[in-house]
Amino acid sequence: MIGAILGDIIGSRFEFHNYLGKDFELLTRKNEFTDDTVMTCAVAEALMDSKADFSDLSQQAVAAMQRLGRLYPNAGYGARFYHWVFADDPQPYNSCGNGSAMRISAVGFAAKDVEEAKRLSAAVTCISHDHPEGMKGAEATAVAIVMARQGKSKEEIRAEMEKYYDLSIGVDTYRRTWDGHGREICQISVPQALACFFEGEDYEDVIRNCISIGGDSDTIAAIAGGIAEAFYGVPEKLRARAADFLPPQLLAICRAFDRWQAGRMQNR
């Protein structure tokens, strides 16, 4: 999931200052983690804390999201999700916001196959983003990650993703038709992220594509970054730099998740 987190960090300084090009420095002092990273770590923590069959994953996800969300209250949450984080009895609020897709990468790396990815995605998404588009955006992202981990080709992944979205618009078109920060909803951000992945040549190129089209840069890069990690891997030098931008608690969750996932893979 570090690919999603790096996407968030790299995209953070462009979210409200879009740059429609690929010739930029990846990481500077102006970069920072945002709510995308906090909630990605929350989903990872929920998976690790759940029972072996994940039957309590929804409850664990609520607990982890509220705990970490309250620790980092200024990470940039949307107004409704901020209220959800601090609610005594948080309930789903029919959201199709792209927050459901930006936080889902850990599910894609934890699931043993596509069917489990769909089940786990639903469990961690329905607690807040229960609008059909919110559910779909998270599921599509998780499924794409699983397929990439399984060694599927881009053509095979695209064919599956076309069951979810119209993918006829490419990166150049998104860039030419840029009109600002954009709407923060799955039905816009997920197809954009998928286009950036399909047209990317490696992990870094995918992230550069994401920034270059404008829009909700950090979230588009977080969504595409998780898929690109599963398909290409993340360069070790870039992976190591994530530690420079993460507080100890979130970094510890990332490292613990890597160990936990490795253990699951060995036991299959």
What pLDDT shows up at residue 264?
80
* Distance (Å, whole) CA 32 – CA 42: 17
Transcribe 146-163 into DSSP letters: HHHHTT--HHHHHHHHTT
Q: What is the pLDDT of residues 4-14, one digit of tens each?
A: 999 999 999 99
Is pLDDT at 24 greater than 80 in this prediction?
yes
Phi first, then psi: what are they for 62, rounded to 5°? -60, -50
- Whether 27 has a pLDDT exceeding 90, the answer reads yes
For 60-101, the pLDDT digits (tens) are 999 999 999 999 999 999 999 999 999 999 999 999 999 999
- Tokens at 140, concatenated: 């599509």
Q: Which CATH number fits domain 2-263: 3.20.20.10, 3.40.1350.10, 3.40.630.10, 1.10.4080.10?
A: 1.10.4080.10
The type of residue at 132 is P
- If you average pLDDT over residues 214-239, what whole number do you get? 97
268 — pLDDT class (breaks 50, 70, 90)? low
Distance CA 125, CA 133 (A): 11
Entry pTM: 0.97
- Residue 179: its pLDDT value, please? 87
pLDDT at residue 111 tops 80:
yes
Question: According to the 3-state scheme, what is the secondary structure of 205-221?
Answer: HHHHHHHHCCCCHHHHH
Task: Flag whether pLDDT at 266 surpasses 90.
Answer: no
Query: For the chain, what is the mean pLDDT?
Result: 97
Contact between 95 and 83 (Cβ < 8 Å) = no
Residues, the chain, total?
Answer: 268
- Give the helix, strand, coil percentages of the chain, each rounded to 5: 65, 0, 35
Would you say residue 267 has pLDDT above 80? Answer: no
Domain boundaries, the chain: 2-263
pLDDT (tens digit per residue) in 189-224 = 999 999 999 999 999 999 999 999 999 999 999 999
Q: What pLDDT shows up at residue 262?
A: 87
Residue 39 tokens read as 């909630």
Distance of alpha carbon 16 from the chain centroid: 19
Rounded Cα–Cα distance for residues 73 and 164 (Å): 33
Indicate if the alpha-carbon torsion angle 228, 198, 159, 185 is positive or negative: positive
CB 114 within 8 A of CB 48: no
> What's the token pair of residue 132?
């059909």
Q: Which of 58, 90, 76 is nearest to 222 (CA)?
A: 76
Predicted local distance difference test score (pLDDT) of residue 180: 84
- Give 137-160 pLDDT, tens digit per residue: 999 999 999 999 999 999 999 999
